[in-house]
Amino acid sequence: MSSNQQKFDTRLSHMARPGIRTHGFVNTGVHRGSTVLYPDCATRAEGPKHRYEQWMSYGTGGGPTHFELENAIAEIEGGTHCTIVGTGLAAISVPLLAYLKAGDHMLMPDSVYGPGRNIATKMLAGFDIETTFYDPTIDEAGIAALIRDNTRVVYTESPGSHTFELQDIPAIARAAHARGAVVMMDNTWGIHHFQPFQHGVDVSIQALTKYVGGHSDILLGSCTVNSKAHWEKVRESALLLGAYASPDDVWLAIRGLRTMGVRLKHQEASGLEIARWLEQQPQVLQVVHPALPSHPQHELFKRDFTGACSLFGVVFQPHYTLEDAYRFVEATTLFGIGASWGGYESLALPTTGFLTRTAGTGHFDGPMIRMHIGLEDVGDLKTDLLRGFAALG
C-alpha cells in the first residue's frame, strides 16, 4: 500500500522517521549544529545551486531533523514544500516580508490573530505598506471591490482565533488570483481538517506550537506552499531573516505528530460535547463553534472542513459583566488561564475588552471567553464548569 492510500493516523506513525526495515533507533535523532563541513572546496562552492533544497550549508538553513518535520508538515497540509521557523508569529512575518514592499497594499481580516495585526500596523506600516482590515465574512464581490492595483497579499484566517468567523476561502482566492494577489492563510485551527491548497491558498501558515507540539512546551511555526515559485519566495525570506528553529523543539514536534491524530479526534469529540452542553446552560447566550449548527457560517464548515479542533468561544447572557466572566474562569480548578491552545490541558481565557477591531466586526451581546478543551475526562470538566456557573450566582 502506498503512503497516499494510507489513513492519516497510519501516516503520522511512519512519517519523519527512518523506515521500519532499517538497522537503528525507531525515531529520527536530534541534529544540533552551526558549522557544516565540506569534503572539499568545490563541494562548498556548489552551495548556491542548492539554496532552495534540503542541503546542509550552515545551521540556519536547517539539518536532518528540520528536513524530516518539513516533509511531514508539507504532507499534512497537502503542499510541496515547507520551511520550519521558530514561532507561529515568525510563520506569519516571513511570508509577509517575502511578498510585500514599500508602496504595496494588503487585505487582512478584522478577526486576525492579534500579533499578526500588530505586524501589519506597527512594522509593515513603517515600511510604507498599507493594510485594509475587512469583514471576515465578506463574499467574493466584496473582497474584489477592496482589491487595488497595488494589492499584493490577501491574508485570511479561518476561523478567527478569538471570534471564530469562518471565511469563504475559495471565493476570496478566486477574487485575489484574478487580480494577481497572493492568498495567505493561518490554518492553525484547521490542521488536517482543512486542506488549504485544495481551496486556492498559496501560502499556508501553522503555529506548530499548538496541536503538532501538543504538550504546551515548544514554540514553532511553519510556512507551506505548493509551487516552486512560491517556495523560492518564502524560503528566501526565511533564509535572509535567519528564521531558524531550535532542533530540540523540532524533534519534540515530530514526537508530538505521532499522537496528533488520536488527540485531534479525542479533543474534537470532547470539545463538541462540552460546546453542546454549554448551549443548554441558562447563563450562556451563545456558543461560537463552527461545527455547531448554530454557528452563522456552519454551511461553510460542512463544505470545507472534515472535522474541528477543540477551540471555541462562549458568550454569556447580556446582564453579566466582564468581571463576572473573570469570576467564572477563576472559580474553575481544571481550566488554566493562558493564551495558547492545542495542548493536553483545558484553558479558559476572557477575550472581551482585549480584542482590536477596526472594521466594525466581532461584536457580541455579552462578555465572551475563549475555551480550549484538553484531554481531561468530559464529566470532570462539566463538574468543574458548574463551579464557574455557581460563582455567577
- Tens of pLDDT, residues 297-314: 999 999 999 999 999 999
State the DSSP code for 122: I
Is the per-residue pLDDT at 338 higher than 90?
A: yes
Query: How much is the average pLDDT of 23-33?
Result: 85
Q: Residue 349: enclosing H or E segment and its boundaries?
A: strand 347-350
Helices (H) and strands (E) in the chain, counts: 12, 11
Q: Which residue has the higher pLDDT, 73 or 24?
A: 73
- Tens of pLDDT, residues 116-141: 999 999 999 999 999 999 999 999 99
pLDDT of residue 291: 98
Is the per-residue pLDDT at 75 higher than 60?
A: yes
CB distance 349 to 299 below 8 Å: no
Query: How much is the average pLDDT of 41-58?
Result: 94
β-bridge partners, 350: 369
What are the grid coordinates assigned to 357, written together? Answer: 477591531
CB distance 147 to 107 below 8 Å: yes
pLDDT of residue 1: 44
Is the per-residue pLDDT at 390 higher than 50?
A: yes
Side chain identity, residue 362: G
24 pLDDT band, cuts 50/70/90, is confident
Query: How much is the average pLDDT of 196-207?
Result: 98
What are the grid coordinates assigned to 342, written together? Answer: 492545542
Q: How far apart are CA 220 and CA 197, in angstroms?
A: 21
Please write down the long-range contacts of 200-205, taking CB distance under 8 Å and 24 or more positions apart.
200/169, 200/170, 200/172, 200/173, 200/174, 200/176, 201/156, 201/169, 201/173, 202/226, 202/227, 202/230, 203/95, 203/230, 203/234, 204/77, 204/79, 205/88, 205/91, 205/92, 205/95
Query: How much is the average pLDDT of 285-291?
Result: 98
3-state SS assignment for residue 41: helix
Q: How far apart are CA 208 and CA 221, in angstroms?
A: 5
pLDDT of residue 349: 96
Share of the chain above pLDDT 70, in %: 99
Of the candidate ranges 7-11, 157-161, 284-288, the one whose mean pLDDT is the lowest: 7-11
Q: Which residue has the higher pLDDT, 249 or 14?
A: 249
Give the chain's length: 393
3 pLDDT band, cuts 50/70/90, is low
pLDDT of residue 4: 66
DSSP 168-198: -HHHHHHHHHHTTPEEEEE-STTTTTS-GGG
Query: How much is the average pLDDT of 23-29?
Result: 80
Query: How much is the average pLDDT of 74-89?
Result: 97
279 pLDDT band, cuts 50/70/90, is very high
- Tens of pLDDT, residues 152-188: 999 999 999 899 999 999 999 999 999 999 999 999 9
pLDDT of residue 18: 77
pLDDT averaged over the chain? 95
Whether the full predicted model's pTM is greater than 0.85, yes or no, is yes
Is the per-residue pLDDT at 274 higher than 90?
A: yes
pLDDT of residue 238: 97
Query: How much is the average pLDDT of 66-79?
Result: 96
Return all residues near 43 (Cβ < 8 A) that are at least 6 apart: none
- Tens of pLDDT, residues 84-109: 999 999 999 999 999 999 999 999 99
Least Cα distance to 369 among 289, 292, 296, 298 occurs for 289
308-342 CB burial, b ≥16 within 10 A, e <16: bbbbbbbbbbeebebebbebbbebbebbbeeebbb
Least Cα distance to 324 among 390, 378, 272 occurs for 390
